Amino acid sequence: MTGSYLLFLLSGQLFGARLEGALEILPWRVARKVPLAYSYVEGLIDYRGVIYPVFNLAQKLGLKPQSPIGFTAQGETTPAGLQSIILLEEKKAPLGITVDSIVKMIKANEVAPDASKGDGFIRGLLYDDNKEILLLDFERLFFHGG
Amino acid sequence: MAESTRFVILSLEGDKYAIPLSSVVEITAPHGLERDKNLTEIFEGKTEFRGKWLPVVNVKKLLRMQGLPGKVLLVLKGIKGMVGLLVDTVAEILETDKKAAPFPPGVMNPSTTCFRGILRHEGALVLLLNEDGLL
């Protein structure tokens, strides 16, 4: 299946999101904190009249931030490495994910994943410049329990 | 025309929360707070209110937030009776005919009952507390 994809980097790994679901790319911003939320929830943002939950994708995937550990004044700068928020829609549910950087947009053929990989969170694979790119199933990652 | 509802806007650690004004009995200072070892950890103690003992909740502990207990006592009546909440400040009354937006999926465990939804106020998102689901 050929489609358009947005490629992004997270903890040094390349991931992709189908452009049909990628609505907006925002510079990182502080989200409204939500008490009792899952640990990987950054909070909520209100963008163009829609309330998006913002998920820390690296934390959900158990990836370590790339930036060196150091002191960061709270509220003044972005968390280690995170530069952008991608706003998506999965099965009509809006969501935002934090990523390190946006790489590019490509047209590519999506192939089925190896079923043994990724705990079912990988919905497909892409190949670009001989690199394997993981397409994540955001619905399964974020909307099926904590 | 849609019927408007009034909410008390309160703050906890700098973030705004709302609670329906119809559930608020009194906003006061927490005088004479007494410890009661029969109450669970989320309670700061009890205080006498209109001739009866009122259990007082440290909302920050309930919501697993950092910080000292608030210095304002919000007395609420709900389906389980009256309860006091310690909050940092009570700033204003919001009157709106807009309904609270539901929480987007995936944010918290669906069994969490502390919130009713989300309101918008002065360009910010305000979490609407569920007076009947806090305890």
Residue A91 has pLDDT above 50, yes or no: yes
| CA separation for the pair A125, B10 (Å, rounded) | 48
Output the pLDDT for position A80: 57
Residues of B in contact with A94 (CB under 8 A): 104
Residue B80 has pLDDT above 50, yes or no: yes
- Range scoring the smallest mean pLDDT among A7-11, A59-63, A113-117, B75-79: A113-117
Output the pLDDT for position A72: 46
Structural domain including A56 reads 2-68+77-135
Q: What is the pLDDT of residues A24-33, one digit of tens each?
A: 999 999 999 9
Q: The domain spanning residue A89 has which CATH number? A: 2.40.50.180
Output the pLDDT for position B91: 86
Instruction: Tell whether A129 is covered by a domain.
Output: yes
Q: Which pLDDT band holds residue A81 (cuts at 50, 70, 90)? A: low
Residues of A in contact with B114 (CB under 8 A): 35-36
Instruction: Tell whether A18 is covered by a domain.
Output: yes
Residue B51 has pLDDT above 90, yes or no: yes
Output the pLDDT for position A78: 55
Amino acid residing at B120: R
Instruction: Tell whether A140 is covered by a domain.
Output: no
* Substitution target from B16, B120, B125, B128 for chain A, most A beta carbons within 10 A: B125
**Mean pLDDT for the stretch of residues B8-33:** 96
Output the pLDDT for position A59: 94
Output A138 or A118, whichever has higher pLDDT: A138
**Mean pLDDT for the stretch of residues B21-44:** 94
> Using an 8 Å Cβ cutoff, are A98 and A57 in contact?
yes
Q: Which pLDDT band holds residue A117 (cuts at 50, 70, 90)? A: low
Write phi, then psi, for B71 (nearest 5 degrees). Answer: -105, 5
Residue B70 has pLDDT above 70, yes or no: yes
Q: Average pLDDT, whole number, for chain A?
A: 85
**Mean pLDDT for the stretch of residues B118-126:** 96
Query: Tell me, what DSSP letter sits at residue A82?
Result: -
Output the pLDDT for position B50: 94
Number of domains in chain A: 1
Q: What is the pLDDT of residues A55-72, one digit of tens each?
A: 999 999 999 766 544 444
Output the pLDDT for position A49: 93
Instruction: Tell whether A57 is covered by a domain.
Output: yes
Kindly state whether B99 is in contact with chain A, defined as any CB-CB distance less than 8 angstroms.
no
Whether B125 and A142 lie within 8 Å, measured CB to CB? no
- Name every residue whose Cβ is closer than 8 Å to that of residue A43 and which is 6 or more positions away in sequence: A30, A31, A32, A33, A34, A37, A53, A54
Closest listed residue to residue B16, CA positions, set A36, A35, A96:
A35
Output the pLDDT for position B94: 97
Residue A116 has pLDDT above 80, yes or no: no
Q: Which domains does chain B have, with CATH numbers?
A: 5-129 (2.40.50.180)
Query: Tell me, what DSSP letter sits at residue A34?
Result: -
Output the pLDDT for position A123: 86
CB pairs under 8 A between A and B: 55
Sequence-ordered alpha helix ranges (H) in B11-89: 59-62
A interface with B, Cβ–Cβ < 8 A, is 32-38, 41, 44, 46, 51-53, 55, 93-95, 142-143, 146
Terminal-to-terminal C-alpha distance of chain B: 35
Q: Average pLDDT, whole number, for chain B?
A: 95
Kindly state whether B64 is in contact with chain A, defined as any CB-CB distance less than 8 angstroms.
yes
Distance from CA of A123 to the nearest CA of B (A): 19
Residue B106 has pLDDT above 60, yes or no: yes
Instruction: Tell whether A146 is covered by a domain.
Output: no
Output the pLDDT for position A75: 47
Instruction: Tell whether A26 is covered by a domain.
Output: yes
